[in-house]
Homo-oligomer: A and B are copies of this chain.
């Protein structure tokens, strides 16, 4: 037992892309990897066995949601989150910051922490760096995240500067109280699309010496892809290469590829399961909407190049019927497929890195996916 360990296996010849391995108390996993999201201690609509079957490694759970319901003490009494949800793979918990800041007003952010309203019942709640870490310690996830402010990409340079200074102080406070020897703790680099602030945030966060580093603030607003890529370009040169780099909340296929090219190891996003619930599916040739009438009598699989359970056994026509009839098995089949699609993408990415052809891989992917 002990904390996760990252090992760098290979650097790609032409980019900052890299192959790595994360050793955890629940097995070893190759990076780059995509982590499915199990917000409320369940990857929506799926069983743990189904999540394993699509070859997922780490999954993500949301500290904010589990804090409110069922509560970290209950999960602690259950023997921790793994046992509670019957997941014998590694788990990363976020800090709650992302959820909290979408519910709070700027004036409710103080040096001490954030005051905000419980989205379930309107009660006033207060979250601090210490509290976030204490909750995550009890959840007993394999990777905990530092509590950070997650300002919109549109924030001014002045606001952002004050914000990242505070986030660095919060990171230090969280690290000081962290006390779960089996749990790694990651720092979060913020700073929007400001080069000086990303650099500063990266340097100062790395000085605190975390077990891994994440790039935050790139998926909370409708910032441009350019700004997202800049945030990576500005931050990652300052992150030591023997630590895991995590791009939070990113799940668009092209963003995963671009993130990898810039040196990212792990990604998470609700996109595959959210798209599924709306009847959308990833395919090699772009996203499709199964609600469209063209699929009514289409008895071929969602993606005939896919090896998932849904594509092996079910047609577009059947899944479309399930979605139309509001049968949850439809969202389940598409969730399996969409998660498998992103995980298969990371498998293909790893193969491309091995062969030093990640740039060619990107071009081929984009040609198939976007140019119809």
A296-B74, A314-B86 given; A321·B46 CB < 8 A: no
Given the interface contacts A296-B74, A324-B69, does A313 sit within 8 Å of B86 by beta carbon?
Answer: yes
Task: Check B328–A85 contact: CB distance below 8 A.
Answer: no
Whether A126 is near chain B, meaning CB under 8 Å from some CB there, is no
- Is residue A159 contacting chain B, with contact meaning CB distance below 8 A? no
A49 to chain B, nearest CB (A): 9
Using known A-B contacts A47-B329, A69-B324, A329-B47, determine if residue A315 contacts B42 with beta carbons closer than 8 Å.
no
A318 touches B78 (CB 8 A): yes
A366 to chain B minimum Cβ distance, whole angstroms, is 34
Q: With contacts A69-B321, A70-B321, A324-B69 known, is A299 near B42, CB below 8 A?
A: no
For chain A, the bracket of interface size reads 35 or more
A131 at the interface (CB under 8 A from B): no
- Is A325 touching B69 in the complex (CB atoms < 8 A)? yes
Main secondary structure of the interface of A (DSSP, over half): loop
For the complex, give the distance between the alpha carbons of A314 and B324 in Å: 31
Give 1 or 0 for each of A318-332: 1 = CB within 8 Å of chain B CB: 101110110111011
- Docked-complex contact B317 and A74, CB < 8 angstroms: yes
Which residue of chain B has its CB nearest to the CB of A69?
Answer: B325
Does the CB pair A318–B77 fall under 8 Å?
Answer: no
Min CB–CB distance A361 → chain B (angstroms):
33
Q: A41 on the interface (CB 8 Å rule)? A: yes
> What is the distance, in angstroms, from A63's C-beta to the closest C-beta of chain B?
15
- A331 and B332 CA atoms in complex are apart in Å by 13
Residues of B within 8 A of A65 (CB): 325
How many Å lie between the Cα of A70 and that of B327 in the bound state? 13
Report if A370 contacts B (CB, 8 A).
no
B297 contacts A74, C-beta separation under 8 Å: yes
A7 at the interface (CB under 8 A from B): no
Residues of B close to A78: CB separation below 8 A:
299, 315, 317-318
Expressed in whole angstroms, the Cα–Cα distance for A46 and B329 within the complex equals 6
Contact of A40 among B86, B314, B321 (CB under 8 A): B321
Proximity bits, A143-178, B CB within 8 Å = 1, else 0: 000000000000000000000000000000000000
Other A-B pairs beyond A41-B322, A45-B329, 19, CB < 8 Å: A40-B322, A40-B325, A41-B318, A41-B321, A42-B322, A45-B328, A45-B332, A46-B329, A65-B325, A69-B321, A70-B296, A70-B317, A70-B320, A70-B324, A74-B297, A74-B317, A77-B297, A78-B315, A79-B299
9 interchain residue pairs of minimum CB distance: A70-B321, A40-B325, A86-B313, A42-B329, A328-B328, A42-B327, A45-B328, A84-B318, A78-B299
